[in-house]
Structure 1
Amino acid sequence: MSGKIITIAQQKGGSGKTTLAAHLAVALSQRPLEGGSTRVALLDCDPQGSLGEWFEVRERTLGDEATGLSFRTASGWGARREARSLARDHHFIIIDTPPKSDVESRPAIEVADLVGVPVQPTPVDLWATRPTLEMINKEGTSCLLVINRAQPRAALTKEIASAIEALAHPAAHTRLGNRVGFAASMGQGLTLLETEPGSKGALEVEALAAEFMALLRR
């Protein structure tokens, strides 16, 4: 097996990287593959450890054997080695990276098959995304920009969406809405897919996971 590595990266803090990583991991784990269930691993490279805390709560909520995911931690250049090791027996590896750190994020971007970049629909967030995109360009890795916490009827969201589309990187057709359920589910060690299955937010996550899978197949 040679699993696909997806790195979630954004140098601006508060962009929703950890929430995106967790939701994408669960969404992918729920998509059956030929020959059996989908094996997904999470790799937390952020010293803050938010993804690890979420996973520990998940273990308490569901039980150690029922999380549906594997979990590891790494830092710096160790992320590349750990991700490649996990790829031997997992279909997908999702890496959560720290903000404001080229040194910590670069190995995770280098090893990735695809980098997901969450962007909140504000001018400041869009400006802050440029260093991340420059790093991705330097490593020659494919990426997908994801508008996060979008207000569907807000004029600013439409304006920023147009600005994102003008960048030299593809943007996901699916946008994740600004929904309380995302944060509430994370507090339980779960995702919106599990607390509100079939909801608009859950459908957004499923559609986004399908976009990631389609790009990885190319």
Structure 2
Amino acid sequence: AAAKQNPEWTVAVLDCDPQRSASDWWKLADSVDDSPAFSVVTDAGDVDADLLIVDTAPGSGSGISEAVTMADLVIVPTEAETMSMFRAKKTIDAVGSKGWLLLTKARRRTRLWADTVEAIEQTGVRCFKTFVPDGVKYKGFATNPSDLGAYTDLWLEIRTIVERGN
């Protein structure tokens, strides 16, 4: 979304996840002539970009600590259900004031959604107003959709947060 909303920027994803899902996704999209408007690299030394997004595996470790130190903002995606949200809160607590919760697979018309929103309010976790709804549209592997849906709104929200200093 950042690359599409700001085509004058160079955007890169640093794939630090041992599974290399971001790299695999990019290569497969490229192989069908649907290359994303950003690059994916696996070595921080290869990065020359206006905006760097670091993809890490869940958990902890030196790679994550280094990414958090470098970051202006740490996005912790979690499914929109209370147990996942409480696990994500531990990560947000660990990263401090840079941490923001991103609710994914959201189904707003469910009791589970209402419980999740209530839990967020009770814990005081900073959460993006934008959420990613549950849907097939976001599950396609190696696709580069022209309509990014919620991710466009999310990017605009992220940019506003970073510009105002978190």
TM-score (norm. length: structure 2): 0.88
The residue correspondences of 1:18-37 to structure 2 (distance < 5 A) are 27-32=1-6, 37=8
What is the CA–CA distance in structure 2 between the aligned matches of 1:67 and 1:175, rounded to whole Å? 22
Please list every run of 5 or more consecutive structure 2 residues that lacks an aligned counterpart in the other structure: none
More off after superposition, 97-106 vs 110-119: 97-106
1:209 to 149, 155, 160: 155
The SS at the match of 1:94 is: strand
Q: CA RMSD in A?
A: 2.0
The SS at the match of 2:149 is: helix
What is the CA–CA distance in structure 1 between the aligned matches of 2:38 and 2:108, rounded to whole Å? 32
The residue correspondences of 1:188-207 to structure 2 (distance < 5 A) are 189-191=142-144, 193-194=145-146, 197=147, 202-207=148-153
What is the CA–CA distance in structure 1 between the aligned matches of 2:99 and 2:86, rounded to whole Å? 17
Higher helix proportion (structure 1 or 2): 1
Q: Aligned residues: percent identity? A: 24
Contact 2:76 2:99 in 1 (8 A): yes
| Larger relative contact order, structure 1 or 2 (CA cutoff 8 Å, min sep 6) | 1
Aligned to 1:100: 59
The residue correspondences of 1:1-218 to structure 2 (distance < 5 A) are 27-32=1-6, 37-62=8-33, 66-74=35-43, 82=44, 86=47, 89-137=48-96, 141-184=97-140, 187=141, 189-191=142-144, 193-194=145-146, 197=147, 202-218=148-164
The SS at the match of 2:5 is: coil
Contact 1:147 1:175 in 2 (8 A): yes
What is the CA–CA distance in structure 2 between the aligned matches of 1:168 and 1:153, rounded to whole Å? 23
Contact 1:149 1:176 in 2 (8 A): yes
Alpha-carbon distance, 1:119 to partner: 1.7
Alpha-carbon distance, 1:174 to partner: 1.0
Contact 2:17 2:57 in 1 (8 A): yes
Aligned length: 164
Alpha-carbon distance, 1:183 to partner: 1.1
Q: What amino acid does structure 2 have at the position aligned with 1:51?
A: A
The SS at the match of 2:80 is: coil
After superposing on structure 2, the runs of 4+ consecutive aligned residues of structure 1 that deviate more than 2 Å are 100-104, 165-169
Q: What amino acid does structure 1 have at the position aligned with 2:156?
A: A
